[in-house]
């Protein structure tokens, strides 16, 4: 496994609008070569935090520091070789073929007029191979299923060959089968290349199973961070989601698993 040596951290990030701030001063250091997951209820700012770290949003105050330098002071193309992002709802041009779309991930590696180099072909092939979509290379994206499409988008981000990859809710809108498949593929990526992954996930149990490290947010503040087995407790879930629950051990992965308690169907 290759080890990337980048250091990404935030310093007192405040983000949102002047009138309505979403993040109120967040300090995190992203552990390297790990799968990091941000969890929290709707509108807690988890997506905003991810986008700010991925330079899609400029913070109102504070900064995001990569290897000792503000990401907003690093030339965009150079930064794009280190930080890759899969947005929540990326937009595909009508009628584009899978290979061409994956190839667009090579943009930061290409010069103004050059076509695809051998390296570009190699990167595209590797990314498509990893995502298991090579046979779809010359198909149109419009013809694919939701799960296949998501793999194409991840392949595009992989073709960018960055050491750090951000994903904003990569499993939303997907069936449970595809959710697990996508998370497995991302784990493959992390194990094989040591890619640092930072993603937002909705499902706490999948997050607890797949994450090496979790950041828990509530109302724009960081409430807890750490290994899932250390921090996922019924108290934390109560504090963050305002939900009563029992935490048990996931019989498959031995990671913590929450069982929610509603007002009904609770035996004594």
Which positions lie near other proteins, rule CB under 8 A?
17, 51, 54-56, 76-81, 83-85, 87, 90-97, 99-100, 103-105, 107-108, 110, 112-113, 115-116, 121, 124-125, 128-129, 134-135, 137-138, 157, 160, 166
**Which CB, 160 or 195, lies closer to other proteins?**
160
Q: Which residue has the tokens 């750490």?
A: 226
Whole-number Å distance between alpha carbons of 256 and 162? 31
**Which CB, 141 or 224, lies closer to other proteins?**
141
**Which CB, 47 or 190, lies closer to other proteins?**
47
Q: Shortest gap between Cβ of 41 and other proteins (angstroms)? A: 23
**Which CB, 41 or 90, lies closer to other proteins?**
90
Pair type for strands 256-260 and 245-249: antiparallel
Q: Shortest gap between Cβ of 154 and other proteins (angstroms)? A: 13
Q: Shortest gap between Cβ of 77 and other proteins (angstroms)? A: 4
Q: Which residues lie across from 23 on neighbouring strands?
A: 15
**Which CB, 26 or 159, lies closer to other proteins?**
159
Q: Mind spelling out the 3-state secondary structure of 75-116?
A: CHHHHCCCEEEECCCCCCCCCCEHHHHHHHHHHHHCCCCCCC
Q: Shortest gap between Cβ of 189 and other proteins (angstroms)? A: 17
Q: Shortest gap between Cβ of 69 and other proteins (angstroms)? A: 16
Tokens of 22: 């979403």
Q: Shortest gap between Cβ of 80 and other proteins (angstroms)? A: 3
Would you say 124 and 106 are in contact if contact means Cβ atoms under 8 Å apart?
yes
- Measuring CA to CA, which residue among 18, 228, 257, 181 is closest to residue 246? 257
Would you say 125 and 179 are in contact if contact means Cβ atoms under 8 Å apart?
no
Q: Give the DSSP H or E segment for 256.
A: strand 256-260
Q: Shortest gap between Cβ of 19 and other proteins (angstroms)? A: 10
**Which CB, 31 or 90, lies closer to other proteins?**
90
Would you say 168 and 88 are in contact if contact means Cβ atoms under 8 Å apart?
yes
Would you say 76 and 156 are in contact if contact means Cβ atoms under 8 Å apart?
no
Which value, in Å, is the radius of gyration of the alpha carbons in the chain? 19
The backbone torsions φ and ψ at residue 87, rounded to the nearest 5 degrees and listed phi first, read: -65, 170
**Which CB, 1 or 113, lies closer to other proteins?**
113
Q: Shortest gap between Cβ of 111 and other proteins (angstroms)? A: 10
**Which CB, 107 or 229, lies closer to other proteins?**
107
- Measuring CA to CA, which residue among 52, 56, 63 is closest to residue 22? 52
């Amino acid at each position: 496994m290759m080890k990337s040596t980048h250091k990404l951290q935030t310093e007192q990030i405040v983000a949102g609008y002047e009138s309505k701030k979403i993040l109120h001063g967040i300090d995190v250091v992203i552990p390297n070569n790990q799968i990091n997951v941000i969890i929290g209820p709707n509108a807690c700012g988890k997506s905003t935090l991810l986008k700010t770290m991925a330079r899609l949003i400029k913070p109102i105050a504070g900064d995001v520091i990569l290897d000792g330098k503000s990401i907003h002071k690093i030339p965009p193309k150079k930064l794009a070789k280190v930080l890759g992002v899969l947005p929540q709802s990326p937009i595909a041009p009508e009628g584009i073929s899978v290979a061409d779309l994956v190839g667009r991930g090579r943009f930061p590696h290409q010069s103004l007029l050059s076509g695809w180099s051998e390296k570009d072909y190699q990167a595209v092939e590797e990314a498509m191979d990893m995502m298991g979509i090579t046979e779809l290379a010359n198909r149109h994206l419009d013809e694919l299923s939701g799960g296949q499409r998501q793999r194409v988008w991840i392949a595009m981000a992989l073709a960018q060959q960055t050491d750090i990859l951000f994903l904003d809710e990569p499993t939303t809108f997907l069936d449970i089968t595809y959710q697990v498949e996508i998370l497995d593929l991302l784990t493959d990526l992390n194990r094989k290349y040591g890619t640092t992954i930072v993603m937002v996930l909705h499902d706490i149990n999948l997050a607890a199973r797949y994450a090496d490290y979790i950041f828990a947010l509530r109302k724009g503040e960081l409430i807890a961070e750490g290994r899932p087995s250390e921090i996922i407790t019924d108290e934390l879930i109560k504090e963050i989601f305002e939900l009563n629950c029992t935490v048990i051990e996931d019989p498959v992965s031995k990671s913590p698993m929450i069982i929610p308690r509603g007002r009904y169907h609770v035996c004594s």
